[in-house]
Amino acid sequence: MPLPFIGSRKKDKQTAAQPPRVSLPPDTLEFEDASLRLQYYSISSHGVRLPHTDEVPTLLPQLLEGFATQVELIEPLDADFQDAAPQLLRPQIALQWINAHHGRSKIARHALFILESLDAIDLAYETFAVALLTGDIDVEGFPRFDAIVGGPISFWDEATGDLIVRLALCWGGEGVKGDTQRVALRLLARLMANMLANQGATELGRVERPVAVSGAQRLACPHCGFPHLDRRAHYCPKCGMRMAGT
């Protein structure tokens, strides 16, 4: 025989009154918001064609004489760092980038962070001479948001073997300064005039940057031993000597 009080307890639980829900209109909510705006800029000139030379490590810094006192040369990266990129949300490639550039100066890392983030340089085949050109650094030694850094970037023309040199400047970070771009344009014009005054300059015009194509077989340069990344390269990205068998 069923007990009557068991069913009555279940009924009482089901019919118990729910607590009233408070309704708040969205326009009456109080909240705290936060935002961070980072702005990075870069400008790059057309390429200047120069005759083939093996003096790139001295030629590029010489183009900044009178504009900077300390110039750092950044040569193409080894194939082991082909995936390196300054992307913090992708820890694996960010760690490669840190390992590849942790020994460089703070000015060089600042410039590479901006230029690689904007896809304005490719260290698979390009050589970069970088310096602080105008502006100040902060207490930690990094360029301020309105400081302009950069310099000449070179690569080898696979069709002719000529050296192609262009100028790239960059700046940015937290903050905006309206006349920084005008200063950068004037500085770029002065640097370009200095580069065109080089006796070996033969042509100025738009030169398409190559795209490195990696392959399973990575041959080392027979002259300097650099293991190049681009399997189509006819010239070593580091020393510029013609690769064997090409």
Residues 135-162: tens digit of each pLDDT: 999 999 999 999 999 999 999 887 777 8
Candidates 131, 229, 225, 148; CA nearest to 182 is 148
pLDDT of res. 108:
97
Residues 12-41: tens digit of each pLDDT: 555 566 777 777 777 777 888 888 888 999
Q: Can you give the pTM of this predicted structure?
A: 0.77
Q: Are 138 and 157 in contact (CB under 8 A)?
A: no
Q: Are 177 and 153 in contact (CB under 8 A)?
A: no
Domain parsing of the chain, residue ranges: 38-205
